[in-house]
Structure 1
Amino acid sequence: MTAIFSSAAGLFITIPFLFYILLFTIIKQITKNHRLALNSAINATTFVLIISVHLIILTIWDRSFLALIILVMLVLAIMFTFYHWKTKEEIHYRKVFIGFWRFNFLVFSLLYVSLILFGVISRAKEALTV
């Protein structure tokens, strides 16, 4: 049973968009609510994307930039909070966190795709030069 869970976790961390599609489909079938399924799948996939980007960076450069990733996320959270305060003059923490978390989904999705392409191209160059 442990092997099944670790294999599934490995698959979803390697291909987080598969996790998104699977989660979206399951939630949509259970709730029949497209919006709830979309939001829930995005929220859960964001965490998986953060882990995936960290592991891809670790694979490509053999160094951990997890502290930098967390620092950038904290700076983004501060920026979101400041912007919300400036525009609304009152901070609604739930709205700020939702906006921040969804923005992270976008950022880490783009990072994931960019790093995958960079990794494939750099490994291909290595293979051709040897």
Structure 2
Amino acid sequence: MKIIFSIVAATFITLPILLYLVIFIGVKYWTKNGKRAMNTAINFTTPILIFSVHILFMTIWSYSFIGYIIMFMLLIAVIFTYIYWRMREEIIYHKLFLGYWRLIFLLFMLIYLVLVIYGVLSRAIEAVISR
């Protein structure tokens, strides 16, 4: 059982887009509501996506960037809160957090995709050069 759990966890950490799709399809099947399925998939995938980006940084550069990731997320939270406050003039914390969480999902999905492409290309170039 541990091995199966390890394989599933490693797969979803390596491919968080697959986790998003599994959750989206499952929730959409049970609720018949696409918007709810998308929001649920985003909410559950974001922490895994953040962890995946951290693992990619460690794999590519052999250094932990977790402190920088946390500072980046806090900076985005401050900027997002300021913009939200300027636009709405009243902060509704639940909506603020949901908007922030979705923004973090989009940013980390973009960072994840860039790091995967960079990692693959850099390893391919490294393999070609070392021959």
Same fold, TM-score > 0.5, yes or no: yes
1:53 maps to 2:53 = yes
Shift of 1:80: 1.2
Q: Which amino acid aligns with 2:73?
A: M
Q: Which residue pairs with 2:82 in the alignment?
A: 82
CA distance in 2, matches of 1:107, 1:13: 17
- Deviation for aligned residue 1:59: 0.2
How many Å separate the matches in 2 of 1:59 and 1:104? Answer: 22
Q: Match for 1:30: what amino acid?
A: W
Q: Percent identity?
A: 48
Structure 1 residue 84, shift from structure 2 partner: 1.4
User: Per-residue deviation at 1:79?
Assistant: 1.0
Q: What SS is found at the alignment partner of 2:91? A: coil
1:29 aligns with 2:29: yes
Q: In structure 1, give the amino acid aligned to 2:10.
A: G
TM-score where L is the length of structure 2? 0.96
Structure 1 moving runs of 4+ over 6 Å: none
Q: CA deviation at 1:36?
A: 0.6
- Give the structure-1-normalised TM-score: 0.96
1:63 is paired with a residue of what secondary structure?
Answer: coil
- Aligned length, in residue pairs: 130
Q: Which residue number in structure 2 is paired with residue 109 of structure 1?
A: 109
The residue number in structure 2 matching 1:5 is 5
Query: Letter of the aligned partner of 2:9 in structure 1?
Result: A
1:33 shift after superposition: 1.2
Question: Over aligned residues, Cα RMSD in angstroms?
Answer: 0.8
Q: Give ranges in structure 2 of 5+ residues lacking alignment.
A: none
